[in-house]
Amino acid sequence: MNKLEAKDVNLHYGEKHALKGISMGIKANSVTAFIGPSGCGKSTFLRCFNRMNDLIDNCRVEGEILIDGRDIYKNRINVVDHRKKIGMVFQKPNPFPKSIYENVAYGLRINGISHKKYLDETVEKSLRQAALWDEVKDDLKKSALALSGGQQQRLCIARTLAVEPSVILMDEPASALDPISTAKIEELIHDLKDRYTIVIVTHNMQQAARVSDNTAFFYLGELIEYDETSNIFTNPAKEATQNYVTGRFG
Amino acid sequence: MNNARKNEIKDNAFKVFALVCTSVGLIVLGLLLYNIISVGLTRINWDFITNLPSRRPGKAGIYTALLGMIWVVTLTLIISFPIGIGAGVYLEEYGKKNPFAKFIEINIANLAGVPSIIYGILGLELFGRLLALGNSILAASLTLSLLVLPIVIVATREAVKAVPGSLREASYGLGATRWQTISRIVLPASFGSILTGLILAVSRAVGETAPLIVVGALVYVPFAPKTPMDQFTVLPIQIFNWTSRPQSGFVVNAAAAIIILLMFVFILNGFAVFLRNRHNRRVKY
C-alpha cells in the first residue's frame, strides 16, 4: 500500500483552477521530488497533504487524499491531529522568536507535555537527527534568530522531527541557503529517508536528481510525468519533461 | 547655473525647511515647558500632593484629583485593554475578509476620530442615566473605555497583521490549534507593537477632560474616592478650574499641577517604551 495517495485531486482558488485531476501514489520511506516551473501547482499540491490550504480563504479541494489508506479530506478527520503526523519544512527558515530549545520543544508543549526530562531528551534527539546538536548544544537558551540561515533551516527540521511525524513535506527547503548549507540539508534528507517518507518541492533539478528516488513533473496545474528519478532525467516519456529537465524552458 | 548645482540648492533648501519645521515644534514646546516650570516648580512639595482642595490657594492640594485620575485611568485600562485586544485579534485572526469586515474596519478607524464630547454625551446617557451609575468613577471609566477602544483595536490589528504568516504556518504545521498559535506565537511576537498602542490609549485617557465634564466629574471634591461608585475629579479638570480663578495663587497651583500631570504621563510612557524596547530586543522577525 502507498503511504500517500492522491486520487483525482482538483483545487480551485476562487475562479482559478490550480490543480487539475492529479492522481499519484507515494511509497513509504522514499524521497519524492516535485519539479516544475513557478506557478505549476507543485507547492499547492504539497500543501494538500497536511491541509495547509485550509488556511487560505476561498480555496476548494476536490478528490481524495489518502494517508495510510485514510481520506484526510473527509469531515470526520481532526485536522490538528493530522498535521502532527505530517511534518512540514518551509522555503524560508521560519524559527519562532524563541530560544533554540523552545523552538524544538514547541510541538511537544502544545500537546501538553511539560515533563522536563522527556523534553530535554526529545530536544537533544531531534537536534542530533537534524545534524545541529554539536553546533548548538552549549547555547540552547540562545535565540533561534541568532543562528545562520542554514542552521535555522536545520532547526526547523529538528522542530518538525520532535513531534515524530511519519511524513515530512519540504517546500523548497534549500532555496534560500548557500551551497554548503544546501549540501548539509541534502545529506540530512538522505539520512532521514530510512525512517520517514519525504516529499520535496524543488526548483533545483540537480537537487532533485541527487536526493530523490522518484520525481513528478508538474506543468500548468497538471501532473505531466511521474516516474523513477533516473528515468525522468535520462529517459523521460513526455517531450515536455524532456524540454524542462534539459533546460529548454522553465 | 548647471543642473547639478540647482539640485544641490534644492536639496539644501529642503533640509533647511525640514529643520525649521522641527524647530518650531520644539521651540514652542520648550517655551511652554519653561513658562510652566518657572511659575509652578517652587509650589511643588509633599503638602501640595497630599492636601485636599481648599479656597485658599496656599493650602490647596491635588490629592483628590490625583487619586481620582489614578482610579479612572486604572479602571479604564482594566476595561478597555482586554476588550480591545480581543476584538483586534478576532478581526484579524478569526474574522473572514469580506465587505462587512471592511465596513467595520473603516468605522472603527472613524470612531477614533469622533470628538470626545460626543463620547461624553453617550456616556452620560448610557452609563450615567440608563445604567444609573450617576457621576461615579465607574461611569467615567466606561466612557473613557469607549473613547480609547478604537485606538487599542486598531493598534492590536496592525500589530497582529505584522506577524509574518510563515510563523503561523510553522505553528499550524506542527499541529497547533488556532488559539495555541495566537497565544503562544502571534501575541508574544506582536506584544511590543500592541504596547505602543496601549501607551497612546493611556496618554489619551489621562489627558481627556471634555467627556468627564459631561459625565459629571465634580470640580470640588473634598474627600478621597474609595470605591468605583464614588464621585470624583481628575487632574485636568482641577487644572481647568484653577486657571479660571481670579486669584494669582491658583495660577501657580495650576502650573504646579500641570508639572505633576506631565510627569505622570512621562513616567507612564517611559515605562511602556522601556518594556517595548526590552521586548523588541528579544523578538525580531
Cell readout for A163 is 513531534
Q: How far apart are CA A55 and CA B181, in angstroms?
A: 13
Task: Tell me which residue has cell 504568516.
Answer: B165
Check the CA dihedral B191-B197-B203-B204 and report its sign.
negative
Q: What is the number of other CB atoms lying within 10 angstroms of the CB of residue B3?
A: 7
Q: Which residue is it, cell 516650570? A: B37
Match 485606538 to its residue by C-alpha cell.
B151
Q: Which among B284, B178, B170, B169 is positioned nearest to A158, based on CA atoms?
A: B170
pLDDT at A30: 92
Residues of A in contact with B185 (CB under 8 A): 96
Ramachandran bin of B178, using left for φ above 0, alpha for ψ from -120 to 50, beta for the remaining angles: alpha
d(CA B285, CA A167): 28
Q: Which regions in chain B score pLDDT beneath 70? A: 1, 280-285
Chain A residues with CB under 8 Å of a chain B CB are 50, 52, 55, 57, 80-84, 87-88, 90, 92, 94-97, 106-107, 109-111, 143, 145, 156, 159-160, 163
Burial class of residue A4, CB neighbours in 10 A (0-12, 13-18, 19+): buried
Vertex A92 angle, CA A90 and A98, to 5°: 90
Phi-psi region of B136 (alpha: psi -120 to 50; beta: other; left: phi over 0): beta
- Sheet holding A4-13: strands in order across? A16-26, A4-13, A59-67, A70-71
Note whether B162 and B193 are within 8 A (CB). Answer: yes
**Confidence at residue A25, expressed as pLDDT on a 0 to 100 scale:** 92
ipTM for the predicted complex comes to 0.88
Q: Could you tell me the pLDDT band of residue A250, with boundaries at 50, 70 and 90? A: low
| Consecutive H or E run containing B168 | helix B165-173
In Å, how far is B190's CA from the nearest CA of chain A?
A: 11
Question: What phi and psi values does residue A247 have, to the nearest 5 degrees?
Answer: 85, 20
Cβ contact, residue pair A55, B96, below 8 Å: no
Query: How many CB atoms lie under 10 A from the CB of residue B34?
Result: 10
Rounded to an integer, the average pLDDT of A136-153 is 90
Q: For A165, phi and psi rounded to 5 degrees?
A: -80, 170
Give pLDDT, residue B64.
84
CATH class of the region A4-245? alpha beta
Read off the pLDDT of residues A228-240 as tens digits, 9 standing for 90 and up: 998 988 888 888 8
Q: What is the mean pLDDT of residues A21-42?
A: 90
Pick among B174, B184, B281 to test the A interface (most A CBs inside 10 A): B174
Per-residue confidence (pLDDT) for residue A213, from 0 to 100: 93
Block residue for cell numbers 539640485:
B7
Looking at the DSSP bridge assignments, the partners of residue A125 are none
Residue A211 banded pLDDT, cuts 50, 70, 90: very high
Q: Are strands A16-26 and A4-13 parallel, antiparallel or unpaired?
A: antiparallel
Interface of B with A in 244-283 (CB under 8 A): 282-283
How far is the alpha carbon of A87 from chain B, nearest alpha carbon, in Å? 6
